């Protein structure tokens, strides 16, 4: 079984890709039919990896939940030998990788707060983020977004039944989630059903939305949380817009720059969900990103990355889990 850390590590280590032809709408995989449960990586009525819980003391509460979670997974389509721009939903090996990585280690964090829905989609290949063929990259990402939009529309029509919604996403999923919020929630009646949105692993400007503010307290609802994790002291090569970016500290759930000690971290998950490591990662908002001192855990000597994107959720797994439950309680009050 692959963990989110090892699957995403391959993502970071990719240095080149096979030569590929420009994007063509005539060669894309068939579109998903979201009435088919096979085209969902997680459904509350099906046994899947989103049902798993960490360690002991946590419960999967989807059966009685009064809130839904719509989860948008990151890029898992990284195979260098595959010359496609978008993934096929009939690729069983890739589907398994999705289930055993992002669904197990990210989507499962929300099963104590709501019923988890996570669509499969023709995700854009990782090369889209560094390819010189910008036109093909944009078309591939657009195709992926149209799938996500279709999945969300199907979810609203057939599954939601008027329940409040948590939106949660990571990386490419957050790219698509950012657009979903703009099209379906911002300045729309559906904003009143938004518990919160966790848009993690992708830069979000603080003023992106007109009626959906950044979350400033752990109990606030109808708001946005976002962070991108790096080793303490890291400065991005490309100049950022600094404080114009939304950075939520996932230990305090505020946006101020006060360092949060690792004693506030209630649990990190690493290679499996059976073991929870408390108090190994701190957090501090700094210049548009989240700084984290290098966590110490078995094998951490080999963990030499400066960009902690691969572990944006893992590092703060239990805190995310409990915060989602807390915001649901606040929403009903």
Alpha helices in the chain (DSSP H): 4-13, 92-98, 104-105, 134-155, 172-180, 317-332
Q: Which of 134-148, 264-278, 300-314 has the lowest mean pLDDT?
A: 300-314
pLDDT higher than 90, residue 207: yes
Q: Which of 130, 123, 139, 111 is nearest to 44 (CA)?
A: 111
**CA separation, residue 275 to residues 31, 49, 251, 302 (Å):** 38, 16, 20, 19
Q: Which of 27-31, 103-107, 249-253 has the lowest mean pLDDT?
A: 27-31
Q: Which of 126, 117, 125 is nearest to 148 (CA)?
A: 117
The pLDDT of residue 50 is 98
**CA separation, residue 125 to residues 40, 225, 317, 322 (Å):** 19, 26, 26, 33
Please return the burial class of 188, using the count of CB atoms within 10 Å of its CB with bins 0-12, 13-18 and 19+.
middle
The pLDDT of residue 238 is 64
Order of strands, edge to edge, in the sheet holding 115-119?
Answer: 40-42, 115-119, 68-72, 165-170, 194-200, 223-225
Residue 180 three-state SS: helix
The pLDDT of residue 301 is 63
Confidence of residue 236 (pLDDT cuts 50, 70, 90): confident
The pLDDT of residue 240 is 60
The more confident residue out of 4 and 250 is 250
pLDDT higher than 80, residue 18: no
**CA separation, residue 165 to residues 214, 279, 306 (Å):** 17, 30, 34
- What is the average per-residue pLDDT within 263-274? 94
The whole-chain average pLDDT of the chain stands at: 92
- Tell me the whole-structure pTM to 2 decimals: 0.93
Query: CA-to-CA distance for 3 and 202, rounded, in angstroms?
Result: 21
Confidence of residue 19 (pLDDT cuts 50, 70, 90): confident
pLDDT higher than 80, residue 303: no
């Amino acid at each position: 079984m692959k963990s989110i850390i090892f699957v995403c590590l391959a993502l970071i280590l990719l240095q080149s890709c096979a030569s590929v032809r420009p994007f063509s709408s005539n060669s894309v995989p068939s579109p998903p039919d979201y009435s088919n449960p096979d085209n969902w990586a997680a459904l509350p009525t099906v046994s899947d990896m989103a049902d798993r819980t960490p360690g002991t003391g946590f419960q999967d509460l989807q059966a009685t939940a009064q809130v839904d979670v719509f989860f948008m997974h990151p890029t898992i389509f990284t195979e260098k030998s595959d010359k496609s721009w978008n993934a096929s939903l009939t690729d069983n090996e890739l589907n398994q990788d999705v289930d055993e990585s992002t669904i197990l280690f990210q989507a499962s964090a929300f099963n104590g707060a709501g019923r988890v829905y996570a669509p499969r989609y023709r995700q854009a290949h990782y090369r889209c983020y560094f390819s010189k063929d910008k036109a093909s990259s944009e078309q591939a990402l657009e195709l992926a977004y149209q799938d996500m939009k279709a999945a969300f529309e199907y979810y609203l029509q057939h599954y939601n039944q008027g329940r409040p919604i948590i939106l949660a996403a990571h990386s490419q999923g957050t790219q698509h989630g950012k657009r979903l919020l703009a099209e379906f929630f911002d300045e729309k009646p559906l904003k009143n059903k938004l518990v919160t949105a966790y848009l993690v692993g992708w830069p979000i400007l603080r003023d992106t939305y007109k009626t959906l503010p950044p979350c400033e307290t752990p109990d606030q609802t109808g708001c946005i949380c976002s962070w991108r994790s790096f080793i303490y002291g890291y400065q991005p090569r490309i100049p950022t817009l600094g404080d114009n970016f939304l950075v939520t500290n996932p230990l305090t759930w505020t946006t101020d720059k006060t360092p949060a000690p690792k004693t506030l971290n209630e649990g990190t998950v690493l290679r499996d969900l059976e073991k929870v490591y408390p108090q190994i990662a701190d957090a501090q908002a700094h210049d548009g990103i989240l700084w984290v001192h290098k966590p110490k855990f078995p094998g951490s000597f080999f963990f030499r990355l400066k960009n902690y994107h691969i572990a944006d959720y893992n590092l703060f797994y239990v805190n995310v889990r409990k915060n989602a439950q807390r915001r649901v309680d606040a929403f009903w009050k």
